[in-house]
Structures are given as C-alpha cells and as structure tokens.
A and B are shown apart, each in its own frame.
Chain A
C-alpha cells in the first residue's frame, strides 16, 4: 500500500533476529556488541516510523499480502510510532546497563537473547493492528518476561515471579474470551474494521460489555489499582537491567492498549469506560503515592511510583477530551523516560552502598553527579516546575478542571494530593540516602564507570524533556488530534472503498 510499509515490521524483526543470533554461544564482547547493535537498529527503525508518520499517514504492512480486514496487518500511526520510539529508547538503555554490569550466570542462560525477545514482543504489541494478534503479541512479550522474571532463581524471584505469571496467564485467558466475544458481536478482529463495524452498529450494550472486559484485561496488564497488586512485589525482585525495562515499558504496554482501544475502536458508548477509567485512575494515583511513601527500599519505592504513573495516564484517558488525551500522550513520554532514569539511578545507588535500603546517609559526597540526576528525576516525577513532569501534570490537571464533572474534580484533587505525597517520598529518599553525614564504618563501593554513565544518560534524556517540552507537546497535540478523529486511522487501514467480501472461487472443485 505504501513504499514504507516494511518499516512497520522492521522494529519487530530486528530484535527477533538479533535475539536468535544471541542464542549462539559467542564470547561476551561479541554478545554485548550484538545486543547493543540490535537495540540501536530497533531505535533507528522506530525513529524512521516516527518520521514516516509525522504527516499523518498510516503505514500498513500486510502480512502474506492479504488486504486489511482479512489478513493480519501491522499498522503504525503517530501514537504507535511515538510509543515505539519510547520503548526502543528504554530498551537501548536497559541493554547498556546489562552490558555494563556483567552477570555471568544469567548471561550464560541467555539473559541478552531473552531481552531481545522481550523487545520484539513489546514492539509487536505496539504495532499490531489486530485484536487477536495483540493477544499473541502479549504472549510473546510475557513469555520472555516470565523467563526473565525467574532467571537466576533467587527465592524472592521465584516467589514473586510465580505470582506474576499466574496473574498474567489469567488475564490472557480473559483476553482470549474478549477476542472471541468481539468477533462474535462484530464479526471481525481487525482494529480499524472493529471501529467501523461498531460505528455502524451504534451504541450497543453488548459491545460496551466487551469493551469493559477488555478494560479489565488491560488494567491487569497495566497494573491499575485492584489488579496491580503483583507489581510492587515483582519488580524489586528482578535483576537490575531487566527491572529497568520492565518498570519503564511493560505496564505502559497495557496503557497503550487502553489508549488504542478506547480512542480508536470502542468509542460509541465512551461514557461507561471513561467513568471506569477515571475512577480506577483516581484510586491508583493515591495508592501508588501512598505505597511509595510507605517503603524504605529503592526499588520498592520506585515500583509504587510506576503504579502511580499508570493512574495519571488512566486519569487523562478517562477525562477523554482532546486536551486530556494530549496531556496523557505527553505524560506517557515523561513517565517512560523518568522511570528508566530512576531505576538506573537505583542500580548505581544500590551498588555503591551495597544495600537495597535508602537509609544509608551522606552519599552526596561520594556521588555528587548522581545526586544531581536524582534531584532532577525526583522533581520530574513529583511534577515540580523546572521539569518536564510539571508541564505534563499541569496539562492533565487543566484538562480535568476544564471537564468539570464531580468525578473529574475528585480525580484532579487526587492527582494534586498524590503529587504532594510523591514529593514527600522522594524527599525521604533524598534525606535517607544523599543527605547527612556518612557513617565512617560503612563502606562505599566503586561502581563501574559505564554503569554510572547509563544512569547519567537516562537523566540527560529527562533533562531533554524539560528543554524540549515545546516540540514534545506539539507532537502530543498532533497525536491527540489524530486520535480524536478515528476516521483517518480506519481509512488508512481499510482504504477508501467499502470492505467487500471477495467472491468465493467458482468452478473447479465445487460440485
């Protein structure tokens, strides 16, 4: 359909190919080189997608040459390209961290290859244009993540990993049922065709019920409040490099699916799902922030912040106006980058102090640059003025106030309150880890320079969010405008003419 259609497959096949290549027992420098090349190439292709879709074209890659509603298609519009780039950036930083921090046992058991498979699964779930293929993509991603979650088999990993696996398998089973039901009601699984059919059908309670079912599934994947109980236990148990990518991107895949499905496909009776999202988001924000304030270990605090950020995204999505969706898309970028940076900082901090606890005191003298990076990320995650986080949260709050319904106002109050609590939690970390006098009997370990550099690079990206907030939000604006008008996506995927069911082949074998 388009000369650039191959670009929709490139970010998926690249990590897949490099992952397969990494299964061969190369020497470590070769393996690390391959993994870094794979992540870099993925990022390059994702950037290519970003430029190719910048003018509003919808790229469609048809697998096996079957046209849209009949075959599986890969689609990329502005939102897809946007999240694909963010995923690839986070993947690159995670590989960098894994390369800088040798872990012989896990690497012998294909840590780097599994990470590439995970990247492939994530990109596949971003780029797919088909509901059932979304299920398959989730499974590709999750099988890799299950393996990574228990790789190394420490007690904590096995306990938390098992919980994570069972939770996600149950959610996947529900997703299969939801796929089946939406096929039964609407007779198709292609997202664009689903949107078209559901628009033809008009407001319909059965379709809304299927939408709510999908909402539950994606809420489980994205760790919205009652279904996110597994997250704060699982993420701290992961090996550092893997934990960085999990925290930054895996929950956001669920949020992306929510964005895609509830702005493009099931828009006929948006009130029900939006109210649900708004309610869940309100609770999730507060739950995450309070959880973060209650914890005393680096990764546990940060894991609760991940939960909180999903709440903010659900809030923006639940308000549902163009302005709110724009704020959500902007906050998506802020959240992915700042989570990557904070988890990288946590890796360095844990290595330097030799303890997962934040109550070490006085590390400011040993790691002044890291302290600066942490301060920047803390301001971003709490949403204080000189940071990209402030711009995103301000946009969210303004969208909520503009909507003005009681639930939206409640959500705004919750957003402000949880920002305050997040700030308190971050100050606790600052006071506990960086501030004060270092006890002379506590050792400070030397952290490898490349590992420190990965944390600095991630923080530099967060600083970039602040400096380039203008272009960022211009981009988010364009994306939100495109999402409001789903006709362009539908036309881009299905073409201008009405979908015709091809004539069955006549003659030949038919008796």
Chain B
C-alpha cells in the first residue's frame, strides 16, 4: 500500500514539475496544484496508512493519527487560496498586456508587435506609472555661465 502511494506521489509531483516548466499560465497553475496534492499525500503516507482506524478517541481503537489530516486540511486551504491568487494575477496580466497570447507571459510581458500603441485589453484598469515629471518642481542647480557679449563702440 505504501509503495503504491509512493509511486502515486512520484507520478503526481513528476507531472506537476513537467507542467510547471511549460510557458502557459494555466499549465503552470495546474502543475502547482499537482505538486501540492503530491505533498499532501506524502504527509498522509509518512504518518502511516491504516484501514478502518478512527481518529477519534471515543471510538474503538486502534486509532489513526489525526494530526496529519489536520495538517493536510490546512495545506489544502492555503493551496486553494494561493491558486486563486495566481489565477487573479494571470488575469490581471492579460488585462494589462493587451493580448491573449498566454505564452508571451512566460518570459516577458511584451506587447503584441501587431497591436496598436497603448492598446490594452482593459483600458479601465491601467496600472499607475511613475509620478508625472511635469508636476515636479525644477530648480536650476548650477549658475548658468554668463556669456560675455562684445561691447560696441569705442
């Protein structure tokens, strides 16, 4: 049983790593989920697999260890939240980048060369850029060298 689980965990994490290495956002997110679930199964397995053993002390023993299940529950909740967050970031990137070429997200959020200048998928949600230099106060740092004009007349 443990061997079977070990193989399954290896398969899950291997698939996850394979997907993580691809350039598409959805595949990356799926890959992370696979790795997370492989990890969760690993916790369950190393703590000992038991059939028909209740984790509650009020039932008839022998008992299963309830702690790994609590750990996995926590890990699942956190994994769920982070997956949602990654997907939100991916959606936002699509809105800002202005094209639906998911693969372009992999190493650069480059503009689609064929797109028009300053075109965004969602013009309502542009990001703030650096403070506008036009509003900043300019003061002259060094004295401007005075040009001496030739004097006329004798």
Interfacial residues, chain A to chain B (CB-CB below 8 A)? 103, 105-106, 132, 135-136, 139, 142-143, 146-147, 150, 152-159, 161-162, 165-166, 169-170, 172-174, 176-177, 179-181, 183-185, 189, 351, 354, 362, 365-366, 437-438, 440, 443-446, 504-505, 508-511
B 97-133 to A, binary, CB cutoff 8 A, 1 in contact else 0: 1000000010011000000000000000101110101
- A150 touching B81, Cβ below 8 Å: no
Q: Which of B54-80 contact A (CB under 8 A)?
A: 57-58, 60, 67-68, 71, 74-75, 78
> Beyond the given A177-B39, A183-B47, could you list 19 further A-B residue pairs with CB under 8 A, ordered by the A residue number?
A143-B82, A146-B89, A155-B109, A155-B127, A158-B97, A162-B105, A166-B20, A169-B82, A169-B86, A173-B36, A174-B39, A177-B38, A180-B46, A181-B42, A183-B43, A183-B71, A437-B142, A445-B133, A509-B58
Q: Is the CB of B127 within 8 A of A180?
A: no
How many A-B residue pairs have C-beta atoms within 8 angstroms? Tell me. Answer: 149
- By a CB distance below 8 angstroms, the chain A residues around B81 are 143
7 nearest A-B pairs in the assembled complex, by CB-CB distance:
A184-B46, A180-B43, A445-B136, A509-B58, A153-B127, A159-B109, A105-B128
A interface: dominant SS: helix
Report the contact-size class of chain B (Cβ under 8 Å from the partner).
Answer: 35 or more
With an 8 A cutoff between CB atoms, is B92 at the interface? yes
* B residues with CB within 8 A of A: 20, 25, 28, 32, 35-36, 38-40, 42-43, 45-48, 57-58, 60, 67-68, 71, 74-75, 78, 81-82, 85-86, 89-90, 92-93, 95-97, 105, 108-109, 125, 127-129, 131, 133, 136-142, 144
Distance of B147 from chain A, by nearest CB (Å): 13
| CB <8 Å contact, A158 and B46 | no
A-B CB contact pairs (8 Å), 6 listed: A150-B92, A158-B97, A162-B90, A176-B42, A176-B71, A180-B47
Q: Are B82 and A132 in contact (CB under 8 A)?
A: no
The majority secondary structure among interface residues of chain B is: helix
Task: Name the contact of B137 in the complex, choosing from A446, A505, A511 (C-beta under 8 A).
Answer: A446
Which residues of the other chain, B, contact A437 by a CB distance below 8 angstroms? Answer: 142
Q: Which residues of B sit under 8 angstroms from A152, Cβ to Cβ?
A: 127-128
- Which residues of chain B come closer than 8 Å to A366, judged between CB atoms? 141
Contact check, B89 vs A150: say whether CB atoms are below 8 A apart.
Answer: yes
